[in-house]
């Protein structure tokens, strides 16, 4: 059985519908996986680098779970990566992440069609894919769901739709992870 680490980059899961439900479903269905809730651990953005590097070292499969914020990852996920993925650990003289599998899992407020035109999800993930290459990780692509905007969740039918999409997203991610394990 491979060790799975799910890193949640949402800046406030208390103010989340889609990512919260995806993560709750994963926790129920993957009880052996480790979960890293960055908003709960580091609301002050002061990352415990050693603790995070230890979690990554133990993992075989790393899932980055996050909403799209300004066509990229949220600030907290960026900060985590900037602090933790350092020369001598992730790349350069040390390659602790080498051979591990990296999976992206993301949600966006805009519908999926928006990311099939000028700027695609693949474009957004290019830096992450390149990071995986630098660290000699296996890039296992992504699971993505659009149309789950926070702006829609106050309308009861829309909120139901978001919840349905989140459940389907979690199922797709679990199937992907089962295929990798
Ligand atoms: C600060 C901020 C920036 C956002 N930027 C984008 C964006 O660039 N593109 C997009 O499609 N949605 C954007 N959104 C919408 C979020 O992606 C969406 O609300 C989120 O995926 C819903 O997940 P949640 O219910 O877990 O919060 C943004 C939301 C916030 C709060």
CB of 102 shorter than 6 A to ligand 1? no
Q: Residue 172's domain is classified under what CATH number?
A: 3.40.50.360
Number of domains in the chain: 1
- By residue range, what is the domain housing residue 110? 4-180
Triad 60, 140, 27: Cα angle to 5°: 55
CB 67 within 8 A of CB 18: yes
Question: Which atom of ligand 1 lies closest to the CA of 21?
Answer: 26
Say what the pLDDT of residue 181 is: 75
Residue range 153-169, pLDDT digits in tens: 999 999 999 999 999 99
31 pLDDT tier (thresholds 50, 70, 90): very high
Residue range 74-111, pLDDT digits in tens: 999 999 999 999 999 999 999 999 999 999 999 999 99
Q: Whose CA is nearest to atom 29 of ligand 1?
A: 69
């Amino acid at each position: 059985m491979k060790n799975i680490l799910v890193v949640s980059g949402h800046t406030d899961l208390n103010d989340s519908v889609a990512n919260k439900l995806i993560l709750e479903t994963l926790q129920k269905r993957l009880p052996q996986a480790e979960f890293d809730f960055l908003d709960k651990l580091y609301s002050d953005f002061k990352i415990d680098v050693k603790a995070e590097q230890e979690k990554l070292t133990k993992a075989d499969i790393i899932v980055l779970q996050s909403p799209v914020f300004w066509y990229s990852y949220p600030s907290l996920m960026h900060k985590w990566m900037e602090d933790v993925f350092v020369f001598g650990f992730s790349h350069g003289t040390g390659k602790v992440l080498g051979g591990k599998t990296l999976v992206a899992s993301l949600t966006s407020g805009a519908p999926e069609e928006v990311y099939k035109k000028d700027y695609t999800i693949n474009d957004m993930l290019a830096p992450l894919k390149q990071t995986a290459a630098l660290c000699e990780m296996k890039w296992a692509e992504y699971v993505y769901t659009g149309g789950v905007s926070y702006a829609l969740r106050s309308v009861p039918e829309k909120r139901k739709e978001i919840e349905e999409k989140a459940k389907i997203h979690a199922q797709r991610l679990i199937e992907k992870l089962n295929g990798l394990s």
